[in-house]
């Protein structure tokens, strides 16, 4: 079977704005190529697909339809905690990114896969669920909500992965924040994803030990490539 190629890059720890600019450049290039292909089909050039891994310094990001009141600290408090805040053009409400969290930004031309954004979101969730399974944990979806949760013994669902994306002309950007070795105290300053009756967790908290990030990344890459039926093209 011929697998689709996806260009992979791990940016490591990178400022949110710098990575957003990088994503936007790749996203715009893909959209413009699709417009060009549609206008001049005789000179068709295949678009490129990308997968970005990174971690961010402490930052809160708000989706385009999110409620800023879900950020519970003011500018001075943000400065004291050395955390920044951005309003973004992705879907979803407010979330936190920080060191120890795996952030994944797929920039995919879904015309190569399937023209179904809901299916795309379910595939992202499944990549996380399968990775949790690798560590002996059962991830779950909640009806009407995007992301991945773990069920507690007392019935309280704990969110371990937030998902928010943007799509235009079936090209995606933004993606997931998967809590691995995250400092969960930063979630106390927001109402995560605008959902008041759920808590958050991390892989470290669930396992009771720090997780090897390189091992985690490799497992996620394997699950992502199997779900999307792609081959990662590494630099």
Determine the straight-line distance between the first and last CA of the chain, rounded to whole angstroms. Answer: 23
Taking residues 36-41, what's their average pLDDT?
A: 87
Please compute, for residue 204, the number of CA atoms within 13 A of its CA located in the half-sphere on the CB side: 15
pLDDT of residue 196: 61
What three-state secondary structure class fits 176? Answer: strand
Q: Dihedral (C-alpha) 182, 185, 187, 189: value to the nearest 10 degrees?
A: -150
CATH number of the structural domain spanning residue 8: 3.30.930.10
Would you place residue 194 in the very low, low, confident or very high pLDDT band (cuts 50, 70, 90)? Answer: low
Digit-coded pLDDT (tens) for 127-154: 999 999 999 999 999 999 999 999 776 7
Could you report the per-residue pLDDT of 93-123, keeping only the tens digit for each? 999 999 999 999 999 999 999 999 999 999 9
Number of domains in the chain: 1
pLDDT at 76 over 70: yes
Contacts of 76 by beta carbon, 8 Å cutoff, 6+ apart: none
* Mean pLDDT computed over 164-190: 96
- Active-site residue identified among 19, 54, 161, 193: 193
Q: What angle do helix axes 117-134 and 213-228 make, rounded to 10 degrees?
A: 140
**C-beta neighbour count of 26 within 10 angstroms:** 19
- Structural domain of 81: 4-233
Sequence-separated (6 or more) residues with CB below 8 Å from residue 162:
92, 95, 147, 176, 177, 192, 193
In sequence order, the β-bridge partners of residue 233 are 7
Say if residues 31 and 171 touch (Cβ distance below 8 Å). Answer: yes
Torsion of CA 93, 99, 100, 104, to 10 degrees: 50
Confidence tier at 191 by pLDDT (50, 70, 90): confident
Residue 161 known to be catalytic: no
Give start and end residues of each alpha helix (H) in 135-212: 203-207
Tell me the pLDDT tens digit for each residue of 1-14. Answer: 678 999 999 999 99
Q: Say what the pTM is.
A: 0.95
Mean of all residue pLDDT scores within the chain: 94
């Amino acid at each position: 079977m011929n697998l689709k190629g996806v260009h992979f890059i791990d940016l490591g720890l990178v400022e949110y704005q710098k990575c957003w600019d990088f994503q936007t450049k790749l996203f715009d290039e893909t959209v413009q190529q699709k417009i060009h292909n549609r206008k001049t089909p005789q000179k068709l050039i295949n678009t490129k697909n990308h997968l970005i891994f990174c971690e961010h310094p402490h930052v809160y990001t708000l989706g385009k339809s999110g409620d800023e009141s879900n950020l519970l600290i003011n500018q001075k408090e943000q400065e004291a905690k050395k955390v920044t805040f951005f309003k973004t053009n992705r879907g979803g409400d407010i979330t936190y990114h920080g060191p120890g969290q795996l952030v994944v930004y797929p920039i995919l031309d879904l015309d190569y896969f399937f023209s179904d954004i809901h299916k795309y979101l379910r595939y992202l969730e499944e990549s996380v669920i399968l990775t949790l399974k690798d560590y002996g944990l059962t991830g779950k979806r909640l009806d009407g909500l995007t992301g991945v949760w773990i069920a507690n013994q007392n019935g309280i669902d704990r969110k371990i992965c937030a998902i928010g994306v943007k799509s235009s002309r079936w090209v995606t950007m933004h993606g997931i924040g998967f809590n691995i070795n995250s400092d969960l105290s930063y979630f106390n300053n927001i109402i995560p994803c605008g959902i008041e009756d759920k808590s958050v967790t991390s892989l470290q908290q669930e396992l009771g030990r720090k997780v090897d990030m390189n091992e985690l990344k490799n497992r996620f890459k394997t699950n992502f490539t199997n779900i999307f039926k792609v081959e990662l093209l590494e630099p």
